[in-house]
Amino acid sequence: QQPVQSPQAVILREGEDAVINCSSSKALYSVHWYRQKHGEAPVFLMILLKGGEQKGHEKISASFNEKKQQSSLYLTASQLSYSGTYFCGTVIQGAQKLVFGQGTRLTINP
């Protein structure tokens, strides 16, 4: 039931783009994205509901492909502040709980 995130880790230079993927084997009701910096609590980025909508948050946006049960998080022109571990969380249709993936560690170098 746990969603699968890829890649597990990525290292970028400042200004480069990144894509983080999240996939589920079950039909999804919603996908949630959070970022956690080292030693801190996770911080909410966005929620996507089924319907294929795309959302944006500054230079961070995400899409939800309902047919493939996949979501992708896009980080454009990455900044040093984007470093951290990104978690996707999924709610399966008919279920109550939000289950997080294992996370993707993003490192942005100057």
Partner 1 sequence: DSGVTQTPKHLITATGQRVTLRCSPRSGDLSVYWYQQSLDQGLQFLIQYYNGEERAKGNILERFSAQQFPDLHSELNLSSLELGDSALYFCASSAQNHNEQFFGPGTRLTVL
Q: Is 29 in the site for partner 1 (CB under 8 A)?
A: yes
For partner 1, the closer of residues 32 and 75 by Cβ is 32
Report the nearest approach of partner 1 to the CB of residue 14 (Å). Answer: 24
Site string for partner 1, 32-61 (x = CB under 8 A): x-x-----xxxxx--x--------------
Strand 28-36 vs strand 43-49: parallel, antiparallel, or unpaired? antiparallel
Judged by CB under 8 A, the chain residues 71 through 110 that form the site for partner 1 are 87, 89, 91, 95-103
For partner 1, the closer of residues 82 and 87 by Cβ is 87
The rounded Cα 36 to chain-centroid distance in angstroms is 11
Report how far residue 1's alpha carbon sits from residue 21's, in angstroms, rounded to the nearest whole number: 16
Number of Cα atoms under 13 Å in the Cβ half of residue 3: 34
The binder of partner 1 chosen from 21, 30, 63, 65 (CB under 8 A): 30
The residues that touch partner 1, with contacts defined as CB under 8 A, are: 29-30, 32, 34, 40-44, 47, 87, 89, 91, 95-103
